[in-house]
């Protein structure tokens, strides 16, 4: 029998927040088998680690920093919050492995998968789901490394740790302690049902173009997060033309465009389900004065990029629908839901702004009040049309059945 | 929240369509898997019983899964042995039971994408690539457990979660089908055993009947001539001891005749050739009749039988001769296993439409393990109390059958060293029914086998 417990608290300092969290845990008689932990990047990781070690010795831990607070069944919690989601499943098997990515992120990811499986006592076995948390930047390589082992037969879901201002302040937390740049891999073999949903809340706006040049060494796989040209013209110019010239100033001087592009990202069609196209989003985060367009997910020469468009209303509704869809896909149906973990793009969170409480409310209603915990991230991983991948401005929910 | 351009509505419609299509796709997958499973199950059930059921599972795989090689591993001597395989060269390979196989044997379907760290593969060292993706399914049948292993080529796509879900259903169906095959086989084996047992019983009964008839003919001569000698009908014997010996011969012959008659009666009952004729029978008269026949033995061992005042009109619905034989047997056994110069007590109780007679003795009692087997032919208590008594164990077996044939029941309580209480319950006859004549004539086919108790010590 799987039980999910979610606890969270917010405070001025890490010590105060942990003290409040300890108070909430004091009344709970739980024995965790896997722990998700999310917290604001201003918190002191070492204190959080000690706290977890004392209260949950030997329990596999995965998580890290979140941008702009946390989501839980209690609502939106401010940036000072720390949240825990405990999976209590004595008959299930769980393992987590964490390490810096090093010079070969794909090889590291593959090795961490094997380590996590060994930790779970399931060497070589295909898990029900692989859940990852990582520092932003190498997500595609990480996914490739994991796919080299498990292929697409097992969903890989997760997020990229975030800070408050895209300043590199993100960290990961594991049972071994916090790290800055790295990857945590959790393998899940729950005794109950498990399902997930991974969607975006955007649609094509009409314009599109083919990537003709990226910032990648000649002869190497022409894949990069710096797009130089679309349809043979400077990428930033083409993109700004699609979205009505909103980036004129940044194009002239170069600069961050994250907030301005959240509702107007790029998209790649990654397949279709019975004729309905499915997209992975690419979020432009900066433009260069030379016309380059920097994005949060790698694209390849030859990729067709579509102008996508969204709205605050869609982003509010989407989270509840994603949670609801994941719950309904449980083998025992939504009624068997024990709780779950959500990843919500930090860019979307920024666009929704003050209405995030409505997001939390909708998710809570979709899950009939069952406990959940959500983190705001700088990249989202999941499976679209049967293929594991990395995208931006996405939302995922992993539902645990009883 | 909606924007003025209606974009939200368009996107919502698109997503709703996507959700519906996803649901549709999931139903299509479900239907396809069900068809695959059904074909597999049909293949499984087409297999004739008699062969190794694990082989039949193997035959049903090809219609259900996409794989390159397969093995059925069956439990043997604490490990697993490949019972059947494709390619056949893998058959006979022995595997240890490690962490992975333990989980599978316990019922978990497991997909493995790499065997490099799998303990079982490291130990067994099979002639297979460790990078071959595999799907492991538990198999259960009544007598043993096994594992079904599907392998894909090295470098091929791993089995997916959908494959695992399909395999879970297949393993369940296969185990149910194996159980059904096993049950069918067990039924056929039982039927064959029953037929053989019936045939053996028929032969035994025929032998007993024939032998009993053959024994009875010379016995009549023995009894007749010993009676003539004992009674000195043709003249004095001379030496008195010879006359006593002739009496012993007659007594022993009568005892032997009783045993032969019991054998004949039992074989008639078991062959279904015995038909009782239930009529109203007076209880008091039946008891007195039985006591008259036992008088000699009772007097010889100075055993008193205490009878209650039984109303003359108290009647039971029974075959008169069968009832006499039952009473002879119960009271005779009680007397036989009672110490000399003691008493046997008979009580009665008439309630509603039943009459209950109890025969209580203070003899050596019956051990509990023998109590459970009373009524089985040739069963006698085997303990220090009974070894000195004669008996074939037939009397109570016949009693049980006769009682059942007239709609009665018998219950025995006993404490070793303290005695036995036998309760006989019979259907009462209507109060105004005419009673049958006292059953003083010859017994149906037999009589208690002399003074011996059949089933147990009392």
Give the C-alpha separation, B385 to B364, whole Å: 6
Q: Tens digits of per-residue pLDDT, B124-142?
A: 999 999 999 999 999 887 7
Is residue B307 located within the same domain as residue B290?
Answer: yes
Is residue B213 located within the same domain as residue B330?
Answer: no
The reply to whether B75 falls in a domain is yes
Q: Do B117 and A123 touch (CB under 8 A)?
A: yes
Q: How far is CA B329 from the centre of its chain?
A: 27
Looking at the predicted structure, is the pLDDT value of residue B90 above 60?
A: yes
Q: How far is CA A389 from the centre of its chain?
A: 11
Q: How far is CA A73 from the centre of its chain?
A: 18
> How does residue B254 score in pLDDT terms, banded at 50, 70 and 90?
confident
Looking at B139, B159, B187, which one is the last position of a domain?
A: B187
**Cβ contacts of A202 on chain B, cutoff 8 Å:** 11
How much is the pLDDT for B198?
Answer: 85
The reply to whether B129 falls in a domain is yes
| Two tokens, residue A252 | 């002239």
**Cβ contacts of B161 on chain A, cutoff 8 Å:** 126, 128, 153-155
Strands B79-86 and B69-76: antiparallel
Question: Where are the strands (E) in B54-208, listed by range?
Answer: 69-76, 79-86, 94-95, 110-112, 134-140, 145-151
Is residue B76 located within the same domain as residue B155?
Answer: yes
DSSP H or E run through B421:
strand B419-427
The percent of residues above 90 in pLDDT, for chain A, comes to: 83
The reply to whether B80 falls in a domain is yes
DSSP A85-147: EEEE-TTSEEEEEEE---S-HHHHHHHHHHHHHHHHT-TTBPPSEEEEEE-TT-HHHHHHHHH
Work out the number of other CB atoms within 10 angstroms of the CB of residue A112.
Answer: 27
- In this structure, of A173-182, A326-335, B227-236, B259-268, the range with the lowest mean pLDDT score is B259-268
How close does chain A come to B188, measured CA to CA in Å? 40
Give the C-alpha separation, A203 to A345, whole Å: 16
Q: Which three-class secondary structure state does DSSP give residue A64?
A: strand
> How does residue A126 score in pLDDT terms, banded at 50, 70 and 90?
very high
Give the C-alpha separation, B155 to B157, whole Å: 7
Q: Which three-class secondary structure state does DSSP give residue B311?
A: coil
DSSP H or E run through A360:
helix A356-366
Beta bridge partners of B424: B357, B410
Looking at the predicted structure, is the pLDDT value of residue B440 above 70?
A: no
Q: Do A317 and B12 touch (CB under 8 A)?
A: yes
Looking at the predicted structure, is the pLDDT value of residue A391 above 70?
A: yes
How much is the pLDDT for A278?
Answer: 84
> How does residue B371 score in pLDDT terms, banded at 50, 70 and 90?
confident
> How does residue B207 score in pLDDT terms, banded at 50, 70 and 90?
confident
Asked if residues A291 and A251 have their Cβ atoms less than 8 Å apart, the reply is yes
Is residue B212 located within the same domain as residue B235?
Answer: yes
Beta bridge partners of A234: A229
Is residue B180 located within the same domain as residue B201?
Answer: no
Residues of A with CB under 8 A from a CB of B: 114, 117-118, 121, 123-126, 128, 149-155, 199, 201-203, 273-276, 278, 309-314, 316-317, 321, 325, 329, 355
CATH number where B118 lies: 3.30.450.40
Higher pLDDT, B114 or B197: B114
Looking at B216, B246, B270, which one is the last position of a domain?
A: B270
Q: Which three-class secondary structure state does DSSP give residue B449?
A: coil
Nearest to A1 by CA among A38, A33, A26, A35: A33
How much is the pLDDT for B386?
Answer: 47
Looking at the predicted structure, is the pLDDT value of residue B403 above 50?
A: yes
How much is the pLDDT for B259?
Answer: 80
Looking at the predicted structure, is the pLDDT value of residue B151 above 60?
A: yes
Mean pLDDT of B91-101: 94
How much is the pLDDT for B206?
Answer: 79
φ/ψ (deg, to 5) at B98:
-110, -160
How much is the pLDDT for B56?
Answer: 67
Residue B76 forms contact with A (CB below 8 Å): no
Looking at the predicted structure, is the pLDDT value of residue B381 above 60?
A: no
Please name the residue of chain B whose CA is at the shortest distance from the CA of residue A318.
B12
Is residue B407 located within the same domain as residue B294?
Answer: yes
Looking at the predicted structure, is the pLDDT value of residue A355 above 60?
A: yes
Residue B128 forms contact with A (CB below 8 Å): no
**Cβ contacts of A193 on chain B, cutoff 8 Å:** none
How much is the pLDDT for A25?
Answer: 92
How much is the pLDDT for B352?
Answer: 81
Asked if residues B448 and B395 have their Cβ atoms less than 8 Å apart, the reply is yes
Q: How far is CA B379 from the centre of its chain?
A: 17
Is residue B141 located within the same domain as residue B202?
Answer: no
CATH number where B386 lies: 3.30.565.10
Site from B7, B17, B106, B159 to mutate, A interface, most A CB atoms within 10 angstroms: B7
CATH number where B260 lies: 1.10.287.130
How close does chain B come to A128, measured CA to CA in Å? 7
Q: Which three-class secondary structure state does DSSP give residue B119?
A: helix
The reply to whether B434 falls in a domain is no
The reply to whether B287 falls in a domain is yes
Looking at the predicted structure, is the pLDDT value of residue B385 above 70?
A: no
How close does chain A come to B156, measured CA to CA in Å? 10
Mean pLDDT of B55-67: 75
CA gyration radius, chain A: 20
DSSP H or E run through B53:
helix B53-60
Give the C-alpha separation, A396 to B370, whole Å: 72
How much is the pLDDT for B375?
Answer: 67
Nearest to A230 by CA among A140, A303, A286, A290: A303
Which among A151, A154, A274 is the nearest to B21, CB-wise? A274
How much is the pLDDT for A160?
Answer: 97
Task: List the Cα angle A379/A384/A385 in 5-degree steps.
Answer: 165
Mean pLDDT score of chain A: 93
| Two tokens, residue B392 | 């074939």
Looking at B270, B305, B327, which one is the last position of a domain?
A: B270
Is residue B177 located within the same domain as residue B143?
Answer: yes
Q: Tens digits of per-residue pLDDT, A46-75?
A: 999 999 999 999 999 999 999 999 999 989
Asked if residues B418 and B362 have their Cβ atoms less than 8 Å apart, the reply is yes
Which among B11, B12, B111 is the nearest to A126, CB-wise? B111
Q: Do B1 and A275 touch (CB under 8 A)?
A: no
Q: Do A309 and B7 touch (CB under 8 A)?
A: yes
How much is the pLDDT for A145?
Answer: 97
| Two tokens, residue A282 | 């690419």
Q: Do B18 and A278 touch (CB under 8 A)?
A: yes
Find the distance separating the first CA and the last CA of chain B, reported in whole Å.
Answer: 96
Q: How far is CA B368 from CA B336, B413, B452, in A?
A: 20, 9, 20
> How does residue B451 score in pLDDT terms, banded at 50, 70 and 90?
very low
Mean pLDDT of B202-229: 83
How much is the pLDDT for A64?
Answer: 98
Looking at the predicted structure, is the pLDDT value of residue A316 above 70?
A: yes
Q: Tens digits of per-residue pLDDT, A200-229?
A: 878 899 999 999 999 987 655 678 999 999
Higher pLDDT, A53 or B433: A53
Sign of the alpha-carbon dihedral angle for B60, B65, B71, B72: negative
SS3 string, A207-233, reads: EEEEEEEECCCCCCCCEEEEEEEECCE
Looking at the predicted structure, is the pLDDT value of residue A38 above 90?
A: yes
How much is the pLDDT for B190?
Answer: 85
- In this structure, of A131-140, B200-209, B238-247, the range with the lowest mean pLDDT score is B200-209
Give the C-alpha separation, B203 to B193, whole Å: 15
Give the C-alpha separation, A60 to A47, whole Å: 17
Q: Tens digits of per-residue pLDDT, A133-159?
A: 999 999 999 999 999 999 998 999 999
How much is the pLDDT for A95?
Answer: 98
Please name the residue of chain A whose CA is at the shortest distance from the CA of residue B19.
A325
Nearest to A288 by CA among A234, A245, A218: A234
Is residue B90 located within the same domain as residue B150?
Answer: yes
Beta bridge partners of A395: A199, A344
How much is the pLDDT for A30?
Answer: 84
Asked if residues B152 and B123 have their Cβ atoms less than 8 Å apart, the reply is no
Is residue B317 located within the same domain as residue B406?
Answer: yes
> How does residue A304 score in pLDDT terms, banded at 50, 70 and 90?
very high
Q: Do B158 and A313 touch (CB under 8 A)?
A: no
Q: Is A275 exposed, middle or buried (0-12, 13-18, 19+ CB in 10 A)?
A: exposed
**Cβ contacts of A309 on chain B, cutoff 8 Å:** 7
Looking at the predicted structure, is the pLDDT value of residue B35 above 80?
A: no
Asked if residues B356 and B349 have their Cβ atoms less than 8 Å apart, the reply is yes
Nearest to B44 by CA among B142, B231, B175, B151: B175
How much is the pLDDT for B392?
Answer: 60
Mean pLDDT of B2-29: 66
How much is the pLDDT for A177?
Answer: 93
**Cβ contacts of A114 on chain B, cutoff 8 Å:** 117
Looking at the predicted structure, is the pLDDT value of residue B457 above 50?
A: no
Is residue B182 located within the same domain as residue B213?
Answer: no
Work out the number of other CB atoms within 10 angstroms of the CB of residue A349.
Answer: 25
The reply to whether B452 falls in a domain is no
Q: Do A314 and B18 touch (CB under 8 A)?
A: no
Is residue B372 located within the same domain as residue B387?
Answer: yes
The reply to whether B5 falls in a domain is no
Mean pLDDT of A84-100: 97
Q: Do A314 and B113 touch (CB under 8 A)?
A: no
Question: Where are the strands (E) in B255-322, listed by range?
Answer: 279-282, 304-306, 315-318
Higher pLDDT, A20 or B445: A20
The reply to whether B31 falls in a domain is no
Range of the domain at B241: 193-270
DSSP A361-396: HHHHHHTTT--EEEEEES-EEEEETTEEEEEBSEEE
How much is the pLDDT for B446?
Answer: 41
Total domains in chain B come to 3
Give the C-alpha separation, A29 to A19, whole Å: 17
How much is the pLDDT for B439?
Answer: 44
Strands B343-351 and B304-306: parallel
How much is the pLDDT for B377?
Answer: 60
Q: Tens digits of per-residue pLDDT, A239-297?
A: 999 999 999 999 999 999 988 999 999 999 988 876 778 888 999 999 999 999 999 99
Nearest to B150 by CA among B85, B246, B53: B85
> How does residue B49 score in pLDDT terms, banded at 50, 70 and 90?
low
Mean pLDDT of B162-167: 88
Q: Do A149 and B99 touch (CB under 8 A)?
A: no
Looking at the predicted structure, is the pLDDT value of residue B449 above 60?
A: no
Q: Which three-class secondary structure state does DSSP give residue B329?
A: helix
The percent of residues above 70 in pLDDT, for chain B, comes to: 82
Site from A97, A308, A314 to mutate, B interface, most B CB atoms within 10 angstroms: A314
> How does residue B43 score in pLDDT terms, banded at 50, 70 and 90?
low
């Amino acid at each position: 029998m799987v039980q999910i417990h979610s606890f969270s608290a917010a405070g001025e300092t890490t010590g105060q927040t942990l003290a409040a969290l300890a108070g909430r845990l004091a009344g709970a008689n739980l024995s965790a088998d896997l722990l998700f932990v999310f917290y604001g990047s201003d918190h002191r990781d070492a204190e959080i680690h000690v706290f977890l070690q004392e209260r949950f010795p030997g329990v596999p831990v995965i998580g890290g920093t979140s941008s702009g607070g946390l989501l839980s069944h209690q609502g939106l919690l401010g940036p000072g919050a720390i949240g825990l989601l405990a999976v209590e499943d004595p008959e299930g098997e769980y393992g987590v492995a964490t390490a810096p990515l090093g010079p070969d992120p794909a090889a590291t990811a593959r090795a961490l998968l094997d380590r996590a499986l060994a930790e779970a006592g399931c060497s070589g076995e295909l898990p029900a789901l692989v859940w990852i948390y990582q520092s932003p930047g190498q997500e595609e390589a990480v996914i490739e490394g994991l796919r080299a082992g498990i292929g697409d037969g097992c969903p890989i879901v997760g997020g990229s740790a975030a800070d408050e201002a895209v300043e590199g302040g993100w960290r990961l937390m594991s049972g071994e302690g916090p790290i800055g740049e790295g990857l945590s891999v959790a393998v899940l073999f729950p005794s109950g049902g498990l399902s997930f949903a991974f969607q975006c809340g955007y649609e094509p706006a009409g314009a599109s173009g083919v990537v003709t040049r990226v910032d990648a060494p000649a002869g190497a796989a022409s894949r990069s997060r710096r797009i130089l040209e679309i349809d043979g013209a400077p990428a930033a110019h083409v993109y700004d033309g699609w979205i009505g010239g909103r980036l004129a100033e940044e194009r002239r001087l170069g600069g961050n465009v994250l907030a301005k592009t959240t509702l107007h990202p790029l998209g790649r069609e990654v397949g279709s389900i019975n004729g309905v196209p499915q997209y992975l989003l690419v979020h432009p985060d900066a433009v260069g004065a030379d016309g380059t367009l920097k994005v949060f997910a790698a694209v390849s020469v030859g990729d067709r990029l579509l102008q996508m468009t969204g709205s605050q209303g869609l982003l509010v509704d989407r989270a509840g629908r994603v949670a609801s869809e994941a719950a309904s896909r449980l083998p025992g149906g939504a009624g068997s839901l024990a709780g779950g973990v959500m990843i919500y793009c930090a860019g979307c969170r920024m666009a929704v702004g003050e209405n995030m409480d409505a997001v939390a409310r909708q998710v809570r209603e979709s899950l009939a009040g069952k406990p959940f915990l959500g983190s705001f991230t700088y990249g989202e991983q999941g499976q679209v049309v049967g293929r594991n991948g990395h995208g931006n401005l996405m939302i995922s929910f992993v539902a645990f059945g009883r | 929240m909606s924007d003025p351009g209606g974009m939200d509505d368009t996107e919502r419609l698109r997503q709703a369509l996507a959700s519906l299509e996803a649901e549709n796709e999931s139903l299509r997958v479900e239907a396809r898997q069900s068809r695959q499973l059904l074909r597999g199950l049909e293949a499984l059930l087409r297999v004739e019983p008699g062969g190794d059921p694990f082989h039949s599972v193997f035959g049903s795989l090809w219609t259900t899964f996409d794989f390159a090689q397969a093995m059925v591993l069956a439990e043997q001597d604490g490990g697993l042995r490949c019972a059947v395989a494709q390619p056949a060269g893998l058959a006979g390979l022995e595997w240890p039971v490690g962490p992975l196989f333990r989980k599978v044997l316990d019922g978990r379907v497991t997909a493995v994408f790499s065997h490099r760290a799998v303990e079982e593969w490291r130990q067994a060292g099979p002639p297979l690539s460790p990078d071959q993706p595999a799907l492991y399914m538990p198999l259960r049948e009544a007598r043993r457990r096994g594992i079904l292993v599907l392998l894909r080529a090295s470098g091929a796509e791993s089995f997916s979660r959908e494959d695992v879900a399909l395999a879970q259903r297949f393993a369940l169906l296969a185990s149910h089908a194996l159980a059904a095959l096993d049950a069918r086989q067990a039924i056929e084996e039982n039927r064959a055993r029953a037929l053989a047992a019936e045939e053996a019983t028929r032969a035994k009964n025929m032998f007993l009947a024939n032998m009993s008839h053959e024994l009875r003919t010379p016995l009549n001569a023995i009894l007749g001539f010993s009676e003539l000698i004992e009674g000195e009908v043709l003249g004095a014997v001379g030496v008195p001891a010879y006359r006593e010996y002739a009496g012993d011969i007659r007594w022993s012959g009568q005892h032997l005749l009783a045993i032969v008659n019991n054998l004949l009666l039992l074989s008639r009952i078991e062959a279904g050739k015995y038909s009782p004729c239930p009529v109203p029978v007076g209880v008091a008269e039946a008891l007195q009749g039985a006591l008259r026949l036992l008088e000699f033995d009772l007097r010889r061992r100075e055993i008193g039988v205490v009878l209650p005042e039984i109303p003359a009109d108290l009647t039971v619905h029974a075959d008169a001769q069968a009832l006499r034989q039952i009473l002879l047997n119960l009271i005779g056994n009680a007397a036989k296993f009672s110490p000399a110069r003691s008493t046997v007590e008979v009580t009665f109780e008439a309630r509603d439409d039943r009459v209950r007679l109890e025969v209580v003795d203070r003899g050596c009692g019956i051990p509990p393990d023998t109590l459970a087997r009373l009524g089985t032919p040739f069963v006698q208590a085997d303990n220090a109390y009974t070894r000195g008594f004669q008996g074939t164990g037939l009397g109570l077996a016949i009693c049980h059958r006769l009682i059942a044939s007239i709609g009665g029941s018998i219950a025995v309580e006993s404490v070793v060293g303290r005695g036995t209480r036998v309760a006989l319950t019979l259907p009462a006859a209507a109060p105004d029914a005419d009673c049958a004549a006292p059953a003083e004539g010859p017994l149906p086919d037999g009589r208690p086998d002399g003074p011996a108790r059949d089933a147990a010590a009392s």
